[in-house]
Amino acid sequence: MESKIEVLATVKIQHSDDLYKIVDCLNRTLKRNNLMFGLALDENDKSKAVFTIYRT
């Protein structure tokens, strides 16, 4: 059985210490809809975060 993850959207936003709370809430709420959300620091600009929406 192969698991395929599809990137639906990616956006760069201003980093904030509380962003992970939003991502956690979205993941807990929408996982049953086969959606997953990711958050990472931009490699080139640590003041920016990269928010990604995936379909699992």
Residue 2 pLDDT > 60: yes
Its pTM stands at 0.88
Residue 3 has what pLDDT?
Answer: 76
Give me the mean pLDDT over the 2-23 stretch.
94
Cα 16 to Cα 56: distance, rounded to the nearest angstrom: 26
Cα 17 to Cα 54: distance, rounded to the nearest angstrom: 22
Residue 42 per-residue DSSP state: -
Residue 1 has what pLDDT?
Answer: 57
Cα 46 to Cα 13: distance, rounded to the nearest angstrom: 11
Cα 25 to Cα 49: distance, rounded to the nearest angstrom: 17
Tens-digit pLDDT profile for residues 13-55: 999 999 999 999 999 999 999 999 999 999 999 999 999 999 9
Q: Evaluate whether 46 touches 15 at the Cβ level (below 8 Å).
A: yes
